[in-house]
A = this chain, B = another copy of it.
Amino acid sequence: MSDVITLAHGAGGKQTAELIDSVFKAHFANPEFTGDDAAILSLGGQDLAFTTDGFIVSPSDFPGGNIGKLSICGTVNDLSCMGAQPLYLACAFVIEEGLPMSDLERYAAAMEKTAAEAGVRIVAGDTKVAGKGQVDRLFITTTGIGRRLPGVRLSGTEAKPGDAVIVTGDIGRHGCTVLLSREQFGIDADVTSDCAPLWGTVKSMLGVTQDIHVIRDATRGGVGTVLYEIAAQSHVGIRLDRAAIPVAPAVSGVCGMLGLEPLYLACEGRLVVFAPQAQADAIVTALRQGPYSGNAAIIGTVTAEHAERVTIRTEIGAETILPPPGGELLPRIC
């Protein structure tokens, strides 16, 4: 491993996993520290989900959202992916000296609105200020507590051969939006972030059936990284159908121009779901009625062979391996 921290360590892919294994898991190992989106804690006869996420997105305002909205969605969605109703949030701010008060006000207003939509209360906070040039504008760390619904048991280790792989909407919009918001690219396209709080989306699926194996939000690293993670955690193969993967035309266009794979662009309002084939159509039907999952689709299946690998059938029918997640695509996406 590298002897200094690199941007790749923060990209959510292979190097991030190596850093977590070699430093954090080595020191913090305990039964509750898992590879899932949130820890499950048994407290007073109930299962609580507990998760934390730092948000350092640059720029802090982007079409479809800002760092405030994102900081609520990211944590609400991590709890939701465990089948846990988000209840309480704590938010810690590190702010650069000189940040306009009106910017902070705008982010707080976005947090308030998004928390209200998600039905979650911000109950604790912290504010630190660093000097000019010691932090870039502001970082927000949001930690959440949720209550897992009885009978629900979702984990990245639970994918089974035969499962359908579902995405809850068109992919890659957040990553594409943030990329275009950075001046250096100079591309003009009509793309907004998919950033959204998804507890309602998860609840609608669990209302159809509790027979769902995995739900994970495809944030940093995108759908492709999530699929490789789950293939590894569950020791299964995953076969995708390229034609079935929903991608907005503008995102497709940008990916074509820049040679990017939309499966590796971050989403902030999309879930990857593994469920038995027998349940898949009913789940997709329910999803398509929701506000953030109108173009949900089955994009592949889980296989016993090719364990820990993701393959993809191209539009012309060829079967290839999806290149595993590599180094840094785009720093500070979330």
Contacts and interface: CB of A to CB of B under 8 A. Distances in A.
A155 interface: no
A7 interface: yes
A257 to B, nearest CB: 24
14 contacts: A10-B129, A23-B108, A26-B108, A28-B91, A28-B108, A33-B121, A39-B123, A43-B44, A51-B90, A52-B92, A54-B128, A90-B143, A92-B141, A139-B139
A5 interface: yes
A53 interface: yes
B135 A133 contact: no
A50 B124 contact: yes
A266 to B, nearest CB: 13
A19 to B, nearest CB: 6
A52 B71 CA distance: 15
A102 B39 contact: no
The contact size tier of chain A is: 35 or more
Given A56-B130, A90-B52, A92-B54, A32 B100 contact: no
Interface in A30-85: 30, 32-33, 38-39, 41, 43-46, 48, 50-54, 56, 58
Interface of A: 1-11, 16, 19-20, 23-24, 26-28, 30, 32-33, 38-39, 41, 43-46, 48, 50-54, 56, 58, 87-88, 90-102, 104-105, 108-109, 111-112, 115, 121-131, 133-136, 139, 141, 143, 145, 147, 331-332, 334
A100 to B, nearest CB: 6
A101 B38 CA distance: 26
Query: How many copies of this chain are found per oligomer?
Result: 2
A28 B88 CA distance: 12
A58 B136 CA distance: 16
Contacts of A27: 108-109, 111-112
A20 B127 contact: yes
Q: For A46, A53, A102, A126, which residue has the most chain B Cβ atoms within 10 angstroms? A: A126
Among A20, A26, A43, max chain B CB count under 10 A is at A43
A313 B28 CA distance: 48
Interface centre among A44, A111, A124, A125 (most CB of B within 10 A): A124
From A6, A50, A143, name the one whose CB has the most chain B CB atoms within 10 angstroms. Answer: A143
